Amino acid sequence: MGGAPLGARALARRGLLALGLGAGLSLLVGRGGLGAAEALGALLEGPWGEGRAALIVGWVRLPQLLTAAVVGATLGLSGAATQSLLRNQLADPYLLGVSAGGGLCAALAISAGLDERLGPWAPPALSFCGALAASAAVYGWARGGRGLGAEALLLSGVALNLALSAALTLVISLSGERLGGVWRWLLGRVDGLSWAEVGALSLPAAVGAALLLRARRDLWLLEAGEEVAWTLGVEVERVKRVTLLAVALSVGAAVAFCGVIGFVGLLAPHAVRPRLRGEGAWLLPLSALWGAAGLCACDALGRLTPSPLPIGAVTGLLGGAALLAALRRGARA
């Protein structure tokens, strides 16, 4: 994507501003017949407020906002890390098998009615396990005799994604009356999570983020090639394993609770990269910030329509449009 080059500080300021606007919008608008003024009042009352407005803000909008922020940050951060790891700016965190494994297991759980039989935690728990298993499979397959090549990772990720999406199609076609539930999950959502679920989502996301942010300089150097990065002191194989683990944990949790929300992991780092002048090691934190801001804004926008749009549809539509616009700008420049 084009865009005037800026420093890391300016990018951080813009990201924070966008996040603030998105967060404000997302707290003040939405369903429930709650006006913006009422919502603001409830917000100012704090966590001890009572009444319907406080209930809606505290138990519906706030968890939804946090979910969007955590998932957006996770996807942006993991997207940037995956791109550096694979030295491919078109890579996406879902490429490493996380969404395919998580998606298939969630679809299986929902279509088998496990959420009704075992409780609402069954699909996300199974999905998380599926995401970890798929990532482990991609890692194991790509791991040749010596080391872990970026190309081998990419190819085994693509192959596993293809195989698992075929299996997913099969599950969907056999899911019968529960088809609607499977579809709703696949389209992605950030609404309707309880505080406990937000906590369960945030914990692995935080662990993954901490691992990736600690490795941000190593991942920056990895884009200079593995041999060069090695001479500059990067423990190449360890960084690759840590990155895969962190992406599996955090994106696996995001997929488990919120489904497959596309485009954020690809677009957030794409928006940051060309604008980030001379401070490449800041790519990861800034991609997280822009991912969070982008998903919060998409969530709020999706609620402004007469009937709320699934967030996966909003990110897909807006993301595709943004990418096409950037392409046109790039062609003119």
Partner 1 sequence: MTPAPAAPHLLLEGLRGAHAPRAPVWLEARGGLLGLLGPNGVGKSTLLRLILGAEPAAEGRALLNGAPVRALPPAARAARVCYLPQEPPASPHWTLEELAEQGAADAGAARAALAALGLAPLAARALGEVSGGERRRAFLARALAQRAALTLLDEPLAHLDWAQAESHLRLLRADARARSALTLITLHDLNLAALYCDEVLLLAPSGEAWRGSPAAALTAPHLRAAFGAEPLLVPHPRALGAPQVLPWGEG
Residue nearer to partner 1 on the CB measure, 92 or 197? 92
- Strands in 167-236 per DSSP E: none
> Given the complex with partner 1, which of 309 and 323 has the nearer CB atom?
323
Stretch that binds partner 1, among 42-50, 181-189, 229-237, 308-316 (CB under 8 A): 229-237
- Minimum distance between the CB of residue 5 and partner 1, rounded to whole angstroms? 8
DSSP designation for 276: B
Which among 103, 109, 136, 123 is positioned nearest to 249, based on CA atoms?
136
Query: Of the two residues 176 and 233, which places its CB atom closer to partner 1 in the complex?
Result: 233
* 223 near partner 1 (CB under 8 A): yes
The residue written with tokens 């046109």 in the block is: 328
* Residues constituting the chain: 333
Q: Does residue 121 belong to the site contacting partner 1 (CB under 8 A)?
A: no
Select 20 or 225, whichever has its Cβ closest to partner 1: 225
List Cβ neighbours of 98 (8 Å cut-off, separation of 6 or more): 131, 134, 135, 247, 248, 251, 252, 255
Task: Tell me the site size for partner 1, rule CB under 8 A.
Answer: 23
Which residues neighbour 296 within 8 Å (Cβ) at sequence distance 6 or greater?
A: 19, 22, 23, 26, 65, 68, 69, 72
**Closer CB to partner 1, residue 46 or residue 233?**
233
8-28 vs 36-45: helix crossing angle, rounded to 10: 110
| Neighbouring-strand partners of residue 148 | 143
Question: Residue 90 burial by CB count (10 A; 0-12/13-18/19+): exposed, middle or buried?
Answer: exposed
Six-digit token string for 241: 């394993």
If one asks whether residue 144 binds partner 1 (CB under 8 A), the answer comes out as: no
Closest contact distance (angstroms) between CB of 87 and partner 1 is 6
Nearest to 129 by CA among 261, 312, 255, 264: 255
The site map against partner 1 for 72-101 (x = CB under 8 A) is ---------------x-x------------
Asked whether position 228 contacts partner 1 by CB under 8 A, the answer is yes
235 makes contact with partner 1 (CB under 8 A) = yes
Instruction: Print the binding letters for residues 273-312 with partner 1: x by CB under 8 A, - otherwise.
Output: xx-xxxxx--------------------------------
Contacts of 175 (CB under 8 A, 6+ apart): 107, 110, 111, 182
Question: If binding is defined by CB under 8 A, does position 241 make contact with partner 1?
Answer: no
Nearest distance from residue 79's CB to partner 1, in Å? 15
The reply on whether position 184 binds partner 1 by CB under 8 A is no
The residues that touch partner 1, with contacts defined as CB under 8 A, are 5, 87, 89, 146, 221, 223-225, 227-228, 230-235, 273-274, 276-280
